[in-house]
Amino acid sequence: MAGKPALLQEIEPVSPHESLAGRDLCSVADLTTTELAAILALAHDIKANPAAYRWALDAKQMVMFFEKASLRTRLTFETAMNTLGGAAVFVDQTQSPLGERESLADIARNVERWVSVIVLRTYAHETITEMAQYASVPVVNALSDLEHPCQAIADFMTLQERFGSLHGFNFTYVGDGNNVCHSLMLTAALLGAHCAVGTPKNYAPKADIVAQARAIANVTGSNITLVNDPVAAVKDADAVYTDVCTSMGFEHEATKRAPIFKPYQVNEVLMSYASPKAVFLHCLPAHRNAEVTDAVLDGPQSVVFDQAENRMHAQKALLLMLLGAGRKR
C-alpha cells in the first residue's frame, strides 16, 4: 500500500494503556476511574490526530460475533479497526446464537488462535463473561442484556467535548432502567458526575447495578438518585438522556409499555426543567415521537450524532489500550 512504510513507525506504548493490555471489557465496572480517564483522554487525542494512529494495530485481527442487528456498533468497530491498520471480520449470529452449534469454550479456544480481540453483541450477558473466561485474547462487550459499556464511554466523551470536566456534573437518564442505563450510571459514578435516573415503577435499573454505582460514587464524591417523577429527575440537569422504552428482546411488551412510558417522553416541556445549557442524548435508533419528540431530537440541544461519531473514536482508544498500543513515535 502506497505510503505505508513511512507511516509504519515504531508504536510507542503509553503507560496508562499498558494497564489494560490483555484485559477484557465486559462491564464499565471493570475499569477504575484512572483507566476510564485514560481511555477518554486517548479517544480525544485520536479524534484530533487520527493520522498519528494510522498503523497502530497493523496486522491485528478483530472478530465480531453479533446476535443482534446493528448499525452504529458494527460500523464504528469496523471502521475503528480498519483505520488503525488492522482487519475486522464480522460473523452474523442473528440466526444462530453463540453456544448453540458449538460450546462457547470451544469457540474461544479456536478463535483465540486466529485473532487479537473478540467483540460480542449478545442477548445474554453470560455469553460475554463465559467467552472472556475461556478466551486468552481480550473480549469486548458491544452490548448485552445487562450493559452497553462502549456506548456509555462514547457518550461521556461527547459530554467532555461540550463541558470539559464532568466532576459534579448533573446527568439525568429518563426512561427504562435497561442495559444502557446501567452502563451510564457506572460511567457517571467513575467520573464523579451526579446521576439521576427517572423511571416508571417496576422499570428501575437492577438493584445490584445501582448498589455497584453507588459504591463507586461514594469514592468519587457523586450521587446516584432514583426517582419515579420525570420532572424531578430532569430538574436542573446539564444533560438529559433517554433510550427506547422497549429494548431488543422485549418487543412483545411494546403495547403494554407504551402508556406506562408516555409521561417519560422527552419533549420541549420536559427539557424546559433542565439547565438552559443542557444537552440531549440518545444512543439511537430512536422511535421518533415515542420516547423523544422530533423537536428535541433534531433541535439545537441534541448531540445525538456527535455521540454516534464518537463511538468510533472511543472504540479506537479501547482497542489500542486492550492491545497495548499507542501513538507512533
Catalytic one of 24, 176, 238, 243? 243
Catalytic one of 26, 72, 125, 151? 151
Catalytic one of 17, 160, 283, 307? 283
Catalytic one of 17, 125, 148, 327? 148
User: For residue 162, how many C-alpha atoms fall within 13 Å in the half-sphere facing its CB?
Assistant: 21
The Cα 123–Cα 145 span in angstroms is 5
Helix (H, G, I), strand (E, B) or coil at 240: strand
Active site residue 329: no
Catalytic one of 74, 311, 313, 327? 311
Active site residue 311: yes
Active site residue 315: no
**Cell numbers of 246, please?**
422497549
Active site residue 243: yes
**Cell numbers of 328, please?**
507512533
Report whether 84 contacts 54 (CB < 8 A): yes
Active site residue 301: no
| Alpha carbon 100 to chain centroid, angstroms | 27
DSSP annotation string for 244-289 = -SS-TT-GGGHHHHHHHHGGG-B-HHHHTTS-TT-EEEE-S---BT
Catalytic one of 74, 121, 194, 327? 121
The Cα 215–Cα 133 span in angstroms is 25
Active site residue 74: no
What's the burial of 259, exposed, middle or buried (CB within 10 Å: 0-12/13-18/19+)? Answer: exposed
* Active site positions, annotated: 121, 148, 151, 243, 283, 311
